[in-house]
């Protein structure tokens, strides 16, 4: 699509969004509007601003991707809503919030504040549909003041904020929730003015239908979200672990957990194609994988399995992080771009 097509209804309603990944911390291409720049690891001296987002998880050996850019063909406005910084074009929004942790109140209050501000930000724009969220905070499995884990407090805060917002989206975003070593709650997210398509995994109970006790709120996320932009189709795959039904498989076996997680992602891609007439290729259209690893000692084993199951050229980043269940040792997220 070129600027001269901009009078067609297609280009008015669906802009393009393209993601590039890089091995070096390059700068974005001049003249191409960038919605967001993501930098992984801890490069000294880089400031966070509206466009640049830094994730502070430690990078592990085997990684070949260190930065990521989200390009659109449209002009971009920058904004701030309370603690949320965002970039915005009429059809898409990329936002970022980082709140110091612990805040003045409980972690649940902090998470509720983050999501209240995120929904407030979206409601001030036309982009009320969350497509993808990334959530990082310390002490994810620690028992907090609510006599439940911080992850459970996070789930209930996210649910409460979503209900209170009145945004009636029935489609939950694809999501990642990982425990960090950094003393802040960080959420960054992509939203648009039209919803994506939620895809669930036939091997897994939908997370929002997990059996829950009174103290545990359901995790509101979709296993994957499909989104057709004008020139690219994206499939945002949530953090995916060794879970079948709702139960962890292969406790204490990181290799088997990794293989099961990869099997879950492959099944999800096949299922998306079957249901929604996409033709995503589980290998060729994989733009990147992010592999979250609990124990540094497991990295060589993980890299051996990744080498066996992925083409050597597939962009990947291994990051040290904790999963929301104590028995999970590894978790993977992916982005498909066709």
Q: Which residues of the chain form contacts with ligand 3EB (CB under 6 A)?
A: 155, 175-177, 207, 219, 221, 238-239, 241, 243, 324
According to DSSP, residue 222 is labeled B
Answer yes or no: are the C-beta atoms of 332 and 262 closer than 8 Å: yes
Q: Which is nearer to ligand 3EB, 243 or 265 (CB)?
A: 243
> Closest distance between ligand 3EB and the C-beta of residue 13, in Å?
29
- Reference 307, options 289, 294, 328, 321; nearest CA is 289
- The Cα–Cα gap between 9 and 16 comes to 14
In DSSP terms, 45 is beta-bridged to: none
Q: Which is nearer to ligand 3EB, 170 or 277 (CB)?
A: 170
Answer yes or no: are the C-beta atoms of 17 and 234 closer than 8 Å: yes
DSSP string for 225-241: EEEE-SS-EEEEEEEE-
Q: Which is nearer to ligand 3EB, 139 or 219 (CB)?
A: 219
Question: 3-state class of 255 per DSSP?
Answer: helix
> Closest distance between ligand 3EB and the C-beta of residue 215, in Å?
15
Q: Which is nearer to ligand 3EB, 14 or 122 (CB)?
A: 122
The tokens for 247 are 């139960």
DSSP string for 259-304: HHHHHHHHHHHHHHHHHH-----TTTTEEEEEEEES-GGGHHHHHH
Question: Pairing between strand 34-40 and 52-55?
Answer: parallel
Q: Which is nearer to ligand 3EB, 84 or 177 (CB)?
A: 177
> Closest distance between ligand 3EB and the C-beta of residue 172, in Å?
8
> Closest distance between ligand 3EB and the C-beta of residue 297, in Å?
22
The tokens for 167 are 């945004």
Answer yes or no: are the C-beta atoms of 337 and 288 closer than 8 Å: no
Q: Which is nearer to ligand 3EB, 52 or 263 (CB)?
A: 263
> Closest distance between ligand 3EB and the C-beta of residue 273, in Å?
21
Q: Which is nearer to ligand 3EB, 51 or 324 (CB)?
A: 324
> Closest distance between ligand 3EB and the C-beta of residue 3, in Å?
38
> Closest distance between ligand 3EB and the C-beta of residue 29, in Å?
32
Chain position carrying tokens 């989104």: 227
The tokens for 152 are 């459970």
> Closest distance between ligand 3EB and the C-beta of residue 243, in Å?
5
Question: Pairing between strand 174-180 and 129-138?
Answer: parallel
Interacting residues of 44 by C-beta distance below 8 A, sequence separation 6+: none
Q: Which is nearer to ligand 3EB, 74 or 238 (CB)?
A: 238
């Amino acid at each position: 699509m070129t600027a001269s097509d901009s009078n067609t209804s297609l280009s008015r309603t669906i802009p393009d969004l393209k993601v590039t990944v890089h091995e070096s911390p390059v700068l974005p291409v001049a003249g191409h509007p960038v919605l967001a720049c993501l930098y992984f690891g801890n490069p000294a001296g880089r400031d966070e601003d509206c466009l640049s987002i830094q994730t502070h998880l430690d990078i592990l050996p085997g990684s070949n991707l260190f930065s990521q850019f989200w390009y659109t063909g449209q002009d971009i406005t920058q904004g701030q809503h309370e603690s949320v910084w965002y970039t915005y074009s009429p059809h898409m929004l990329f936002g970022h919030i980082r709140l110091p942790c612990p805040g003045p109140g409980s972690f649940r209050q902090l998470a509720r504040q983050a999501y209240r501000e995120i929904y407030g930000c979206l409601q001030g724009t036309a982009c009320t549909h969350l497509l993808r969220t990334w959530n990082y905070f310390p002490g994810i499995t620690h028992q907090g003041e609510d006599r439940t884990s911080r992850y459970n407090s996070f789930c209930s805060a996210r649910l409460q904020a979503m209900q209170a917002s009145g945004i009636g989206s029935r489609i939950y975003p694809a999501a990642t929730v990982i425990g960090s070593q950094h003393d802040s709650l960080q959420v960054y997210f992509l939203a648009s003015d039209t919803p994506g398509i939620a895809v669930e995994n036939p091997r897994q109970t939908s997370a929002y239908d997990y059996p829950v006790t009174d103290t545990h709120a359901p995790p509101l996320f979709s296993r994957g979200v499909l989104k057709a932009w004008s020139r690219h189709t994206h499939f945002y795959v949530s953090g995916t672990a060794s879970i079948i039904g709702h139960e962890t498989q292969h406790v204490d076996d990181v290799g088997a957990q990794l293989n099961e997680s990869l099997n879950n992602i492959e099944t999800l891609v096949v299922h998306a194609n079957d249901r929604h007439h996409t033709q995503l290729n589980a290998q060729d259209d994989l733009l990147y994988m992010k592999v979250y690893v609990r124990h540094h000692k497991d990295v060589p084993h993980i890299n051996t399995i990744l080498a066996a199951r992925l083409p050597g050229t597939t962009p990947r980043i291994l990051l040290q992080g904790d999963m929301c269940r104590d028995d999970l040792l590894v978790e993977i997220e992916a982005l498909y771009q066709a």
